[in-house]
Structure 1
């Protein structure tokens, strides 16, 4: 009976280890941020969502991965100068002329993904229509509100520690 318990414990440990992803390492000049995000788009409840995220790269070229509560990948947004690609895991990849066009298609509202890099580094880079609140960044929280042009949007980020 003890042997079965030891085998079960070892199997559980292996399963948990298999669920853990590899440690991601940033290349020079690149950042990696992970956590949870929530976006509420006024007048468009179908466009409001929350997800786990991994933001890597820099404003000019990077990747934003979105995850469901169980850690499965929902979508990967990749961009570089002149091109952006949306991979929705299981559907065809869609190309867009820019990061902004892709993000607006996905979320229903323009989001300043490029500014997120600065906001997460504690710099309140101005973006027309957006008001970033970095007062809780020391606690791993960032909030930004978009008032104009419509629709209004509220973006909240909670960083992993």
Structure 2
């Protein structure tokens, strides 16, 4: 075998070994989402959501999600693209707790305050359960478009108070 061919094969072997190591490292980062044994009863909705806040691009985000429970007691888990948990929002009567990756859990006086802290914008979490069930619950300042819900898509826009916000949800099938 010529020295040039040997060098070419060694280069390919190194690249293949590097690719395997990178794949293993990424697989290690892709921990399955946390599913506590005390998850609230109710339907589980999964998919992706995106929130765009007008004039505040730093507060806009998108994430995979798992929504469990009901408006009174539930859990919203936000996941990164690799499936790792970024934040878990849990609530029940009298208690709302935000557990974000790498931080101590934070307690809030209400679900609304917790959601605003986690997402950077006020969102009608209680109405979101209805909207995902196909119920056009009115929320002051918000317009929900449920016409594509049969395709697993929901869009809700906050017109007031400012800043305007655009929430898009795509459900998994």
| Aligned residue in 2 for 1:5 | none
Query: 2:130 aligns to what SS in structure 1?
Result: helix
Query: 1:55 aligns to what SS in structure 2?
Result: strand
Aligned length: 145
TM-score between both structures, scaled by the size of structure 2: 0.77
- 1:99 deviation in Å? 0.5
- 1:21 deviation in Å? 6.7
| Aligned residue in 1 for 2:150 | 138
| Aligned residue in 1 for 2:133 | 121
| Aligned residue in 2 for 1:50 | 62
Summarize deviations over 1:63-117 as a string: whole Å, max 9, x none. Answer: 0000011101000000111210000022100000000011111222210111111
Counterpart check, 1:97 vs 2:98: no
Stretches of structure 2 that go unaligned for 5 or more consecutive residues are 1-26
TM-score between both structures, scaled by the size of structure 1: 0.83
Stretches of structure 1 that go unaligned for 5 or more consecutive residues are 1-14
Label 1:139 to 1:90 Cα distance change in 2 as closer, same or farther (>3 A): same
Counterpart check, 1:30 vs 2:46: no
Rg larger for: 2
Counterpart check, 1:80 vs 2:87: no
Task: Tell me how large the CA RMSD over aligned residues is.
Answer: 2.5
Query: 2:131 aligns to what SS in structure 1?
Result: helix
Which aligned runs of 4 or more in structure 1 are off by greater than 4 angstroms? 18-24
> Which shifted more, 103-112 or 43-52?
103-112
Contact 2:40 2:68 in 1 (8 A): no
